[in-house]
Structure 1
Amino acid sequence: MTRREAYWDKAAPQYATQPVKDVVSYEARLERVRAWLTPGMEVLELACGTGETALRLAGTGARIEGTDFSGEMIRVAQEKAAEAGANNVSFRKADLAKAAAGRRYDAVMAFNILHLIDDVEGTLAQIRGALNEGGLLLSVTPCLARNYKIRLSLLPMRLMGKEPKMRFFTVEKLDGMIRDAGFEILETGDYPKWLPNHFVVARAV
């Protein structure tokens, strides 16, 4: 087990019960995602955590498959799906690089994960390769390059090993990386704007 996997396995129980800090922004993002998902779509979620977002999107009628490299996160997500009776939502343990292996999807969701991985370009290329023609990438990514207050506040936790390694993007840099990976950006938004937490809908071209 890697150090990162152990970190998230340990965090899973608290993560599952932790309330959303910015409910208004979270609900706004969900509404925009719902606008792009339709019944019968095959959707992959990367780094789904304990499955809260996937389950909140079950009402779209899309078939959502949540994946995470943390077995404990997936265990909690599966329990929540069983309790909710969400037959169109499933969860499985999978490393990010292997989550889409051998499958094709109409949409891939990557929420709050791109800033936590080293090879963003490679991950975007894998997502592009996993999409059907005209398939969608729906992502949310904190872009903290210019938010010096947040960056400074994270430094002590990172030094103590209590915060996972992060990459600090600008909105412009992230959008450019998505375009360079073979996507046409259809919609963007920042929820919340002050962070910003950057929402992107992009079509594979």
Structure 2
Amino acid sequence: MSIASDARFWNRASRKYAMGAIADQAGYERTLDQTRALLGSGDRVLELGCGTGTTALRLAGDVQDYLATDISAGMIAIANEKHAAGPIPALVFRTATAEALTPDAAQFSAVLGFNYLHLVRDLPGTLRRIHALLAAKGLFISKTPCVGDMNPLIRFALLPAMRAIGKAPYAGVFRAADLSQQICAAGFDILATESHATKRNDNRPYIVARKR
């Protein structure tokens, strides 16, 4: 499998994904509220792995600029359909990955990665690129499934079997403690780690980190 195969998987899944319900709506709303409180009206925000744009459409109206990206052109097409129905001037959707974006003088105040980091193939490299894309003291805000903390049956049986038949994408296996260590090693200080799950422990820590 490769990054290209990952994009093809999400392209195939995009319409079904768009119709799916949020499993923990209350937990999702808490994540939005916490994130919104950390963003300012003058901020330039980058969202990685934006999917069909649900989060971007909820947050972009509160900041100066919001670039929402995803590896899947199919996901971005659906996001643009939603955006056309209720345009937000600050918001732009683009098919891209963190690695495809070039750091420049107009760096981002905040980078968001929700349900994203476990899907990248080079976690240390992606975290270093996120660090480079941020302005001084910029924030990296993530909420990521830590597959290494999940039931061993999921890790060692169900997930590999589903990947083998094309029913699941690539997913990196790491624990929450490992993720925190990797984020710090990439040049960040972790300011907060929270659980926003309201139904059960879903092993998705919400982490707020600041660029050193």
TM range (shorter): over 0.9
* Distance in 2 separating the partners of 1:95 and 1:145: 24
- Give 1:136's match in structure 2, choosing from 106, 126, 139: 139
TM-score normalised to the size of structure 1?
0.93
Q: How does 1:33-182 map to 2 (within 5 A)?
A: 33-102=35-104, 103-148=106-151, 149-151=153-155, 152-182=157-187
Q: List structure 1 segments (4+ residues) > 3 angstroms apart after TM superposition.
A: 100-103
* Distance in 2 separating the partners of 1:10 and 1:100: 28
* Distance in 1 separating the partners of 2:208 and 2:28: 16
Amino acid at match of 1:190: S
Identity, in percent, stands at 38
> RCO (CA 8 Å, sep 6+): is it higher in 1 or 2?
2
1:58 Cα deviation (Å)? Answer: 2.5
Moved more, 185-194 or 93-102: 93-102
Moved more, 24-33 or 128-137: 24-33
* Distance in 1 separating the partners of 2:83 and 2:102: 21
Uncovered stretches (5+) of structure 1, i.e. residues with no partner: none
TM-score normalised to the size of structure 2?
0.90
RMSD value, Cα: 1.7
Moved more, 70-79 or 154-163: 154-163
Write the deviation string for residues 38-88 of structure 1: whole angstroms up to 9, x where unpaired.
Answer: 102000111111111111113423421101121111111111112112111
Matched, 1:204 2:211: yes
1:150 Cα deviation (Å)? Answer: 3.4
* Partner SS state of residue 85, structure 1: coil
* Distance in 2 separating the partners of 1:99 and 1:73: 18
Moved more, 61-70 or 45-54: 61-70
* Distance in 1 separating the partners of 2:149 and 2:76: 34
Uncovered stretches (5+) of structure 2, i.e. residues with no partner: none
* Partner SS state of residue 32, structure 1: helix
Amino acid at match of 1:150: I
